[in-house]
Amino acid sequence: MMAYTNEIVGMMLVRNDDRFVSVALRNMLAFVDRVYVLDHGSTDDTRKRVEQVASRFPDKVHVQRIVRL
């Protein structure tokens, strides 16, 4: 039998949101057990800012870049 855990998981789809993403992500962390951030081709510092927060919360923040095929 598979054991289930009750977790609240957040998702953020971001693109060129470097002005707001750090604050939004830190605020979200207060309410979720983990968050997945999907970067949809940012050309500004969005990914850098998300990775800065992720480095402080490696067990809670997971970053993935969405690549167009």
Q: What is the pLDDT of residue 69?
A: 60
How sure is the predictor about 3, in pLDDT bands with cuts at 50, 70 and 90? confident
Number of domains in the chain: 1
In a domain, 56, yes or no: yes
In a domain, 4, yes or no: no
Q: What is the pLDDT of residue 26?
A: 95
Taking the C-alpha atoms of residue 22 and residue 6, their distance in angstroms, rounded to an integer, is 26
In a domain, 36, yes or no: yes
Query: What 3-state class would DSSP assign to 4?
Result: coil
Q: What are phi and psi of 64, to 5 degrees?
A: -140, 135
In a domain, 3, yes or no: no
Tallying the residues shown for the chain, one arrives at 69
In a domain, 1, yes or no: no
Sign of CA dihedral 16, 22, 27, 33: positive
Domain that holds residue 39: 9-65
Cβ distance 21 to 46 under 8 Å? yes
pLDDT tens across 22-49, in order?
999 999 999 999 999 999 999 999 999 9
How sure is the predictor about 68, in pLDDT bands with cuts at 50, 70 and 90? confident
